[in-house]
Amino acid sequence: MVICPNCQHKEISGAIFCSKCGAQLVDMNVATHKINTAERRAAEGITGGLKSSPPSTLQSWLSLHIVESGQILPLADRTEFTLGRMAEGQPIVPDVDLSPYNAYANGVSRLHSAIKLVNNQVVILDLGSSNGTYLNGTRLSPYVEMPVRDGDIAYLGKLKIQLLISA
Amino acid sequence: MAKKQDYYSQLSIGRDATAEEIRQAYFEAARRLHPDKNVAPGETELFIDVQEAYEVLSNPKKRARYDAILPSEKTPLLPVEQRILFSRSNLLHLDEPQLLYALLEFSPKADASQSPAPPLNICLVIDRSTSMQGKNMDVVKSTAIQIARKLKAHDYFSLVAFSDRAESILPAERGADAKKSEARIQMIQCSGGTEIFSGLEMGYNEVLRNQRNSSSNHIILLTDGRTYGDEEKCLDLARKAAEKGISIRGLGIGSEWNDVFLDELASLTGGSSMYISRPQDIQRILLEQINQLNMSVVEETCLEFIIPEGTELHYAFRIAPNPSLLPMESPIRLGPVLKDNNLQVLMEFVVQSAGENETVTLLDGKISVTSNNLETKTVSFPLKLKRPVKNEHSKEPPAPEIVSALSKLTLYRMQEQVRLEVTAGEYDRAAEHLQRLATQLLARGERGLARTALLEAEQISQKKSFSQEGQKEIKYGTRSLLISGERKQYGDLP
């Protein structure tokens, strides 16, 4: 017997989704915390110093797991990141460029959301994006910080990202 | 260099050998090939190969992993490759029921995709009841003319119109006078009710008359209404058609038709039903279907099976192409394999109780593949689904393909549950269930569908019933979530 953490519905052992509320019952175990610095694709386009910097005092505190492609982007070295999509001939550049992950097709704005580390609590906020930022299914009001737990699912438009907190 | 043999043939055993058989075979081979004993040159290498084979096959975990990547035995013959994934590599030693999912996948081989599709033998069976009058019929007529123009010279095309009785508008023939045919299509008048059986039977006879060994045979049924009293006769005819290798696809226009019936009718033959909410979509969907018929590598995949005692096939669903609920009785027609789309079928098994250290057989049967690419037309091979029982779950998460398919299928099944609850008179539960479905839909960014679900939830609490339209929209809407990515556009016919 499995009990759905979301609606307490009882499911037969071996179920993967709750038939009552549709919640996923199985942990996909994607939270790999071993991160290879060479694969910091997200870091491209951020300040050059970031890639070459040795393991600094501020370790990678958050990883973005792009659910569709399965890639994991570790974020490190600062306490605030803006997420968005780089567009040609545009002065504003997000810290994390999501365009390699179909950001355009998924309706990600150029400056979509920001993720911050405030007093050891990770928060996410929407930066007035056109298609909205959703945390666990709820749309965030623009510029309002929402606390994030490890494993939470955020949607930037339709781009699904799981937030893995390692700090 | 000769292709390396698989581990099973190295030990000269069948794929379904038991642990004991594997052990025996290994000892026998090892005695013969041991470096101290062997005589012929090269046998020491064989000995190493045998050891390697035994190492993998004697370890159930490694064996399961190896089986999963092992191409099916008749690979060289088939135009498709088969793959089987399970949600768990083993069952739990448990006294209560447990679920296990299996995903069957057939993908076309590269060389098979090159070969031309077989000649088509299609009959379009059109509902011309009074309700079709106007835009619906206009679009249907113009699409029928387009299809007639675009089919190739070796294809057979026939057209039947029906209301209370059926009339053959275009008998099946090749290279008919195009002008005459078009005039005949234009002259179809709308009147009367909807009696599907009369139309279906005439369509069936048209297709049967021109069935050739090499042709790919289909009936496309277009209707906007309910048929009364002849459902059973229709279903019997569908079974007969399936045996003859004729598939039926059902296209329902508007909100009045009986989707449960059309679904059942089509799925008996490996086809599926589709919902057309607006007349302007008729043309696109109909042409898409015809195009799909031209894309088949395998015309029909059929699964015959028995389920052993203690196990139950609880649910079977074709994920792609044309997502559709499948009947759960043997034989199941799984449908065609298309050039650009793998055939994926998800099965849910319930195992009542699993004893320690046994191997539970979930399904024992065979798959028959019918394809023009095959010399013998049809090839069958055995399919046996079984899993070992252990005390603990493996650490691996379920195959991502299964989880991804289930994440969407769960929504479709929630909708099915709601229907059952409405039928059973449990309106509050149904409404609550629909609201939960809406939440999930919102989380996926399906705002329009979520709104429909919420409206229907309200409708159910107030009026104690679904609206015809909303019910279909939710059913086919959640179903189309399974069509991965953006809707595939097939473009024009070649």
Domains of chain A by residue range = 1-29, 31-165
> What average pLDDT is seen over chain B?
85
The answer to whether residue B490 is domain-embedded is: no
Query: What is the maximum span of chain A, computed from C-alpha positions, in angstroms?
Result: 56
Q: Where is average pLDDT lowest: A123-127, A163-167, B222-226, B277-281?
A: A163-167
Quick one: average pLDDT of B417-431?
91
Closest CA to B242 of B338, B309, B347, B326: B326
| B135 within some domain | yes
B262, B161: one domain = yes
Q: Do A24 and B403 touch (CB under 8 A)?
A: yes
Tell me which residue of A67, A69, A72, A75 sits closest to A28, measured CA to CA: A67
Q: Which SS3 state, helix, strand or coil, does residue B334 take?
A: strand
| B420 vs A52, residue with greater confidence | B420
One domain for residues B216 and B227: yes
Report pLDDT for B467.
87
Strands A152-156 and B216-223: unpaired
Structural domains in chain B (count): 4
SS3 B180: helix
User: Is B102 exposed, middle or buried, given 0-12, 13-18 or 19+ CB atoms closer than 10 A?
Assistant: buried
Among B406, B417, B442, beta carbon nearest to A17: B406
* pLDDT of amino acid B52: 87
A20 touches chain B (CB under 8 A): yes
Shared-domain flag, residues B391 and B245: no
Residue B46 sits in the same domain as residue B164 = no
Could you read off the pLDDT of B182-197 as tens digits, one per residue? 888 888 898 888 899 9
B135 and B275 assigned to the same domain: yes
Task: List the CATH number of the domain containing B349.
Answer: 2.60.40.3670
Candidates B137, B157, B140; CA nearest to B149 is B157
Q: How far is CA B244 from CA A64, B208, B437, in A?
A: 53, 8, 40
Q: Which pLDDT does position B466 carry in this prediction?
A: 86
How far is it, in rounded angstroms, from Cα B402 to Cα B101? Answer: 8
Considering only CB atoms, A28 lies closest to which of B397, B433, B440, namely B397
Give the DSSP per-residue string, chain A. Answer: -EE-TTT--EE-BT-SB-TTT--B-S----------GGG-GGGTTS-HHHHH--S-SS---EEEEETTTTEEEEE-SSSEEEEE---TT-S---SEE-GGGTTTTTT--SEEEEEEEETTEEEEEE-S-SS-EEETTEEPPBT--EE--TTEEEEETTEEEEEEE--
Same domain, B374 and B436: no
Under a CB-based contact definition with an 8 Å cutoff, are residues B47 and B34 in contact? Answer: yes
Return the minimum-mean-pLDDT range out of B168-172, B224-228, B230-234, B486-490.
Answer: B486-490
Q: Residue B489 domain-assigned? A: no
Query: How far is Cα B300 from Cα B338, in angstroms, rounded to an integer?
Result: 10
Nearest chain B residue to A14 by CA distance is B99
Q: Looking at the predicted structure, is the pLDDT value of residue B221 above 90?
A: yes
Question: Across the interface, do A1 and B398 touch by the CB < 8 Å criterion?
Answer: no
pLDDT on residue B73: 57
Task: Please determine, for residue B36, whether its predicted confidence score (pLDDT) is greater than 60.
Answer: yes
Give the pLDDT score at B288: 87
Q: Is residue B275 part of a domain?
A: yes
- For residue B37, the domain's CATH number is 1.10.287.110
What's the token pair of residue A165? 């907190």
Report residue B75's pLDDT band, with 50, 70 and 90 as the boundaries.
Answer: very low
B364/B248 same-domain check: no
Are B257 and B223 spatial neighbours (Cβ–Cβ below 8 Å)? yes
In percent, the amount of chain B with pLDDT more than 70 equals 94
Looking at the structure, tell me whether residues B102 and B131 fall in a common domain. no
Mean pLDDT of B1-23: 73
pLDDT value, residue A59: 63
- Pairwise CA distance, residues B272 & B325, whole Å: 8
Residue reference for tokens 């203690």:
B310
Task: Answer whether residue B68 is part of any domain.
Answer: no
Residue numbers of A between 45 and 84 with CB closer than 8 Å to B: 70
The reply to whether ipTM tops 0.85 is no
B445 vs A20: CB contact, 8 Å cut-off? no
Higher pLDDT, A29 or B235: B235
Interchain pair B400, A28: CB under 8 A: yes
What pLDDT, in 10s, does the model give residues B355-372? 777 888 889 988 888 887
Give CA–CA dist B467/B186, Å, rounded: 34
pLDDT tens string A65-104: 888 887 888 887 778 888 998 877 667 778 888 888 888 8
Does one domain contain both B104 and B158?
Answer: no
Percent of chain B topping pLDDT 90: 22
Residue B21 has pLDDT above 70, yes or no: yes
Which of B275, B294, B313 corresponds to the end of one domain? B294
| DSSP H helices in B307-426 | 400-423
Which fold would CATH assign to domain A31-165? Answer: Tumour Suppressor Smad4 (2.60.200)
Q: Say yes or no to pLDDT of B488 above 70.
A: no
pLDDT band at B487 (very low <50, low <70, confident <90, very high): very low
- Neighbouring CB atoms inside 10 A of B255's CB total 16
Residue B117 predicted with pLDDT over 80: no
Q: What is the bridge-based pairing of β-strands B273-276 and B246-253? A: parallel
pLDDT at A111 over 70: yes
pLDDT in tens, A47-73: 333 333 334 445 678 888 888 887 888
For testing contact with chain A, the best of B408, B413, B440, B449 (most A CBs within 10 A): B440
Which pLDDT value is given to residue B412?
92
DSSP string, B77-96: T-SEEEEEEES-SSEE-BSS
For B315-325, the pLDDT digits (tens) are: 999 998 888 99
Mean pLDDT, rounded, for B116-125: 86
Q: Does B264 lie in the same domain as B134?
A: yes
pLDDT of A44 reads 42
Read off the amino acid at residue B483. I
Residues B309 and B418 both lie in one domain? no
Q: Is the pLDDT of residue B174 over 80?
A: no
Q: Does residue B63 fall inside a structural domain?
A: no
The pLDDT of residue A57 is: 42
CATH number at residue B202: 3.40.50.410
Pair (B160, B273) in one structural domain: yes
Q: Which contacts of A90-99 are long-range, i.e. CB under 8 A and separated by 24 or more positions?
A: A93/A45, A95/A46, A96/A42, A96/A46, A96/A64, A97/A42, A97/A44, A97/A45, A98/A66, A98/A156, A98/A159
**Which residue segment(s) compose the domain that B471 sits in?**
401-480
What are φ and ψ of residue B301, in 5° steps? -120, 125
Which among A15, A27, A153 is the nearest to B99, CB-wise? A15
Assigned domain for B67 exists: no
| Dist. CA B106–CA B302, nearest whole Å | 12
Q: What is the largest CA-CA distance in chain B?
A: 89
Give the length of chain A: 167
Instruction: Give the per-residue pLDDT at A79.
Output: 82
